[in-house]
Amino acid sequence: MDTFLQWLQHDTSGLLVLCAAGIAVLLLMIIRFRVEPFIALIVTGLLIALAAGLSVEDIVGTAQSSSDSLLESGFASILGHITAIVGLGTILGAVLEASGGAQLLTRTLLGAFGERRAPLAMGLSGLVFGIPVFFDIGIFVLAPLVYVVARQGGKSILLYCLPLVAGLSMTHAFLPPHPGPVVAAGLLGVDLGWIILMGLACGLPAFVVSGLLFPLWIGKRIDLPVPEDVLAAADEVARRNEAEQRPEPGLGTVAFIIGLPMVLILGATFGSITLPEGSAALSVLTFLGNPTVALTIAVLLAFWLLGTRRGMTGREISELTGGSLRPLGMILLVVGAGGFFGKVLAETGVGEALAGSLQSTGLPLLVSAYVISSGLRIAQGSATVAIVTTGGIVAPLLHAGELSQAQLALVAVAIAAGSIIASHVNDGGFWIISRYFGIPVRDMLKSWTVLETVLSLVGFSMAVLLSAVLP
């Protein structure tokens, strides 16, 4: 028994077996026994830590203090980075949604592009409005407009809904302030400005292929009418909007609030490259471009421009803010537990053993990150779990100082790309789209599952291409 434990805790092959067993237990708990992912991550992390021979004091601390324990430091290391960013981004999206900004944006694009180019308008709506709002909220808000446009166009609803969900999915996977890219940035130590730049560079081509070209092809082959029940729901939404007495926000105001945080964050990134260190201008840009500061400014402006000026009371804004934050609890718990899991892999030596094993296979870092993330995504369905688990596994591969911020951002993009591949029946987003647009499961697998796979593969391919040309 002692010999086995020595092999398990100190031999490279034993540590690899321990890592494989831990991931198997994690997937078994989530898939077979339906355990909440954050609980499964905690349990798996504790089991790996104990099996690897770490002391109880190292894992959970002592009765007097636990602040230096793996459990607390693991949670704190990642939540300290992402909590404010994700929370502020959620509030910003809620205010934009409640103000009618999404509907205004979509109607404006439809008017500009016309009925023939309605799929392009829907795709751009998802792309722009997807920056500040969660994926499922974007579907909920914009689905009624898809119903109306599809009814007017008289073609398959896939031609109109797939560009929308592709835009929402691209921003959700590749751009802050969404949890996935923010978590990846925190785990790998990447500036969010670089995440935005590389996310756009990889995500936009992926959106064009999966969200514009693929729907044109599949929409001609699967003819799905708009279901009668969703048409009735769209009519009800239209009647409710007409009954609202508050004025609609201006398009420029909506675009300004959506774009402001990204501009401020990118300003700090470019400032750090072009301005001399210690200059007053760099200090100002660094302060304003801090993601938390940038999002706080945008949220306060949204409260005023989209709320108070349009007749919303302080109580209504407070209720809207509180309501928008409630769904964040489970996301943050999963991310925190993933931070603990990654910390355990690092402290036990499992991460280094796996890193050495991956390096010995000759697979490039980007490919390893993408394959691991893809496998976890396909197996258990959650993009967040795939990202936080992969980040913990890949982190030991990132030797300090060897990779530039741009290269690290591309690794984060590869992980994010893998986390959205092949959405199928174990993914909540699969069922949301099926329900809102009345798409049968068989047709979902032919359309949405393929779309997500194309989005993932093209995004990853762009990351590989850019990694070959960027320093």
Instruction: List % helix, strand, coil for the chain (3-state, nearest 5).
Output: 80, 0, 20
Q: Which has more pLDDT, 436 or 43?
A: 43
pLDDT of residue 20: 85
Query: Which of 19, 184, 160, 14 lies closest to 85 in space, CA to CA?
Result: 184
pLDDT at 8 over 70: no
pTM of the model: 0.88
158-174 and 405-418 helices, crossing angle to 10°: 140
Q: Each residue of 247-257: pLDDT tens digit?
A: 678 889 999 99
Tell me what the mean pLDDT of segment 19-39 comes to.
88
What pLDDT score does 235 carry? 57
Residue 433 has pLDDT above 60, yes or no: yes
Decide if pLDDT at 240 tops 60: no
Residue 447 has pLDDT above 70, yes or no: yes
**pLDDT-wise least confident of 97-106, 158-167, 420-429:** 97-106
Q: Given the structure tokens 């987003």, which residue do they identify? A: 429
pLDDT tens string 285-321: 999 999 999 999 999 999 999 988 888 888 989 998 9
SS3 322: helix
Cα angle at 58 between 3 and 56, to 5 degrees?
Answer: 65
- What's the mean per-residue pLDDT of the chain? 87
**Do 376 and 26 meet the contact criterion of CB atoms below 8 Å apart?**
no
Looking only at Cα atoms, what is the longest distance across the chain?
76
**Higher-confidence position of 197 and 358:** 197
Q: What angle do CA 390, 193, 186 make, to 5 degrees?
A: 30
d(CA 377, CA 30): 12
The answer, yes or no, to whether residue 362 has pLDDT greater than 70, is yes
Does the N-terminal peptide bond of residue 177 adopt cis geometry, omega within 30 degrees of 0? yes
CA gyration radius, the chain: 23
What does the pLDDT read at residue 244?
Answer: 54
**Where do the structural domains in the chain lie, given as residue ranges?**
2-469
Q: Report, as an integer, the average pLDDT of 179-195.
A: 93
Q: Region 177-188: what's the mean pLDDT?
A: 92
pLDDT, mean of residues 197-209: 97
